[in-house]
Amino acid sequence: MKTRITELFGIRYPIIQGGMHFVGFAELAAAVSNAGGLGIITGLTQRTPEDLAREIARCRAMTDKPFGVNLTFLPAVKPPDYPGYVKAIVEGGVKIVETAGNNPQKWLPALQEAGIKVIHKCTSVRHALKAESIGCDAVSVDGFECGGHPGEDDIPNFILLPRAAEELKIPFVASGGMADGRSLVAALALGAEGMNMGTRFMATKEAPIHQNVKDALVAASELDTRLVMRPLRNTERVLNNAATERLLEKEKALGAAVTFNDILGEVAGVYPRIMQQGEMDAGVWSCGMVAGLIRDVPTCAELIERIMAEARALITKRLPGMVI
């Protein structure tokens, strides 16, 4: 399939595996890239730039296809060594970076001077237009359905994607609610040039996470996610579990007075315990509503080929048959 995204990134299919904390390791990124999509290593999961450099080298040993690195820019009292991470990406020969969080403008010159294409994650049209104006090559438009941080506007993709198509000149992919060939064709119909999948790629054989997490995704329905940290204007969509219930109860009890410190135990440093050790109630963890469409745990190659077969059938058979 040829779209502006496949052309931009040199990939076979317009399917991107988004950056995910303690999920986006070399094994998953390489498997997605080898299957024709674009795999992404999550930069800040690596504790130091040196660790990221080793992870990039590990991924390169597993694939000769393009892959990228996610770099999330977060406000912090003691920020990560962003110059070091950028240096590791450049020196590692990575040619695609997915940025997220704060405005990446400060880091674009160093990345683009090295010939790196930048795709920025956005949850609104205004943020997507800003990314376009500062020189990003593409954007990932994340609808309200998405796992993780959907922003504060609560606009689902059936509205957000056509609005983005009306305003943007650079290519964009749809993120949030993406799971199968239907998702891809719908995203293309709404103006996107491909799709970004996070939660769906967690439920694959190569995802280097605990089987308990994969089983939870298969068991979940579309009704099993919750929004936390809304009072802090740092909304996150997570899978419902005991930790989520504890957090929501605390938010309800404290109301507008709730602070990040009040919920720290449910959100800080919990990902290794959940993703690697399978402690499912250790804390809250990002999950999209798309869990309701996850029925199995295939390999990345099986998943991507299935998506593309479904998409081709829809485009060449079902939809043409409706035109009279």
Tell me the C-alpha distance between 142 and 156, whole Å: 8
Q: Counting beta carbons within 10 angstroms of the beta carbon of residue 315, is it exposed (0 to 12), middle (13 to 18) or buried (19 or more)? A: middle
Tell me the C-alpha distance between 89 and 92, whole Å: 5
For the chain, domain boundaries? 4-204, 221-286
Using CA atoms, how far residue 273 sits from 40, 245, 246, 264, 280, in Å, is 22, 18, 17, 15, 8
225-280 pLDDT tens trace: 999 999 999 999 999 999 999 999 999 999 999 999 999 999 999 999 999 999 99
Looking at the DSSP assignment, which residues form a beta bridge with residue 172? 139
Please give the average per-residue pLDDT across 98-124, as a whole number: 97
Please give the average per-residue pLDDT across 171-187, as a whole number: 98
Per-residue pLDDT, 305: 98
67-91 pLDDT tens trace: 999 999 988 878 999 999 999 999 9
33-70 pLDDT tens trace: 999 999 999 999 999 999 999 999 999 999 999 999 99
User: Which amino acid does the sequence have at 203?
Assistant: A
Tell me the C-alpha distance between 234 and 257, whole Å: 15
Please give the average per-residue pLDDT across 111-136, as a whole number: 98
Per-residue pLDDT, 77: 78
Per-residue pLDDT, 78: 87
Let me know: does 224 contact 245? Beta carbons within 8 Å: no
> Residue 109: CB partners within 8 Å, gap ≥ 6?
none
C-alpha angle 68-71-74 in degrees, rounded to nearest 5: 165
The average confidence (pLDDT) of the chain is 97
Phi and psi for 36 in degrees, rounded to 5?
A: 105, -5
Please give the average per-residue pLDDT across 157-181, as a whole number: 98
Quote the tokens at residue 50.
């040196």
Domain 4-204 listed as CATH 3.20.20.70: yes
Let me know: does 57 contact 26? Beta carbons within 8 Å: no
Closest Cα partner for 287 from 182, 217, 186, 191? 217
Tell me the C-alpha distance between 98 and 57, whole Å: 18
Let me know: does 199 contact 291? Beta carbons within 8 Å: yes
Let me know: does 141 contact 128? Beta carbons within 8 Å: yes
Task: Please check the confidence at residue 206 and state whether its pLDDT lies above 90.
Answer: yes
The predicted model scores a pTM of 0.97
Quote the tokens at residue 102.
């704060």
Per-residue pLDDT, 65: 98
Q: Is 29 helix (H, G, I), strand (E, B) or coil?
A: helix
Tell me the C-alpha distance between 111 and 95, whole Å: 9
Task: Please check the confidence at residue 223 and state whether its pLDDT lies above 90.
Answer: yes
Please give the average per-residue pLDDT across 310-318, as a whole number: 97
Quote the tokens at residue 36.
């024709």
